[in-house]
Amino acid sequence: MVAEELEKRRTRRVERHAAVRERQARIDAAEKQYTEAWTGTKVADNDLAAEIAVLQQRIEEARSRTAAQIAEYRRHQALAAAAIRREGCNVEEVADILDVSQKEARQLLSEARSLHRAEADAVEPRADEVAAEPVPAANRATAPRQELTAGRELDAADHASEPVHNELDSTRAPAARVSIDSSPRSVEAGTARQWQAPAAR
């Protein structure tokens, strides 16, 4: 009887141990599955971040390239507006020819003048550069000089388009001074000074 009872206890203990081992094996398998999935998630996130970085770099390059192209096209637009302006057209006519607003036409002309000045400044050497290394006149570039001349012509055209009444005012100013100088009081004062001059000597 005692031997049978001990055998039963031993059997139950083995069964319990086997059940614990099976349970632990299932837990280990589930934990392994979770860990593999977690690792895969992290790898996918890293791959996504790397792909996004590449795409962002391409986007920035595309934006920079497009901005440079637009700036160059804008430069050509400004130079075209300046060329029309130098043909004697006023701002309103430039705007009408280019089918833009007068504000946009003025902006284009202003940008053209800035371009001319910048190119002229790029040609003109600084004082310290001239003192350090004189540049022969024969080696100076002529094309930027032409741009500077074009800018000056553009400025002259702007000054020539000022309202006419300013010119009329400038022509009337000397006449007003003549009328003041030729007033009777001025004549009398001048005559008195002429009579008094010999006495003073």
The Cα 135–Cα 120 span in angstroms is 16
Compute the average pLDDT of residues 55-64: 96
Answer yes or no: is pLDDT of 67 > 80.
Answer: yes
**How confident is the model at residue 180, as a pLDDT?**
40
Roughly what angle, to the nearest 10 degrees, separates helices 102-123 and 143-160?
Answer: 140
Q: Which of 79, 90, 97, 67 is nearest to 151 (CA)?
A: 79
Q: What is the mean pLDDT of the chain?
A: 74
The Cα 7–Cα 10 span in angstroms is 5
- Sorted by sequence, the CB contacts under 8 Å of residue 101 that are 6+ apart come out as 95
- Sorted by sequence, the CB contacts under 8 Å of residue 105 that are 6+ apart come out as 81, 91, 92, 94, 95, 98
Are 150 and 82 contacting, i.e. CB atoms less than 8 angstroms apart? yes
pTM: 0.47
**How confident is the model at residue 158, as a pLDDT?**
59
Are 14 and 6 contacting, i.e. CB atoms less than 8 angstroms apart? no
Compute the average pLDDT of residues 102-125: 85
Q: Give pLDDT tens digits for 9-47.
A: 888 888 888 889 999 999 999 999 999 999 999 999 999
Q: Which of 97, 66, 65 is nearest to 80 (CA)?
A: 97
Where residue 104 falls (left for φ over 0; alpha for ψ -120 to 50; beta otherwise) is alpha
